[in-house]
Amino acid sequence: MKNSVFLLLLLMGLVSFSCKSKKEMSSEPTVSKKQLERCENQIAKMKAQLSDKDAIISQLEGENQTLSNDISSAQKQLRTVTAKMQASSDDYGIWFRVQIGAYKNRQIDKNLETTDELSLEKPDDIQKVSLGRFRQYEDAKRLKNQLKGMGLKDAWIVSYKDGKRISIEEALKG
């Protein structure tokens, strides 16, 4: 836009430079009047263009502000949706589960895994069965203690980061 204003001013300068002064034109009355009228018309057109430019700049600034507000709103919505997604997905952050067994020969049908409370994992030939899904280690520890109190001897806490199994020590470090 600065270039447009500069070009417009340059053009106005050329027009005024090409127009003779009133004194010079008075010596040639017929030709001078026509040249003077042409120059005045050109100046009037340039003034109109200059005022149009101001209106266009004002309109564009308004549109720019509206778009900036729309972008800010969309970014806020994206952050909210991302946070909700990450809070509920195993693929984000650190999770704890209570593993209750690891079986090679006797395995539970994978179709029975129906909720977040029961997880059937089989990274190799061994099927790992775990319960719960917790963001806090202490919550997983309470479930482990309850299961042991109910007579389940083998119950231990396992941890995941961004969907991959990691050591408890690493998970607790954050």
Q: What is the pLDDT of residues 54-98, one digit of tens each?
A: 788 888 889 999 999 999 999 998 888 877 776 666 677 888 999
Element (H, E) at 134: strand 127-134
| High-pLDDT (> 90) share of the chain, % | 22
> β-pairing, 164-166 with 156-161?
antiparallel
pLDDT value of position 169: 93
pLDDT category at 158 given cuts 50, 70, 90 is: very high
Residue 159: pLDDT over 80: yes
Task: Tell me how far apart the alpha carbons of residues 120 and 101 are, in angstroms, rounded to a whole number.
Answer: 10
**Tens digits of residue pLDDT in 16-25:** 555 555 555 5
Of 100, 104, 87, nearest in space to 144 by CA = 100
Higher pLDDT pick, 27 / 81:
81
pLDDT value of position 87: 67
Give the up-direction half-sphere exposure of residue 143: CA atoms within 13 A in the CB hemisphere: 21
Angle between helix 29-88 and helix 2-18 axes, rounded to 10 deg: 180
Give me the mean pLDDT over the 106-130 stretch.
73
Give me the mean pLDDT over the 114-122 stretch.
70
Q: Is the model's pTM score more than 0.75?
A: no
Give me the mean pLDDT over the 133-154 stretch.
92
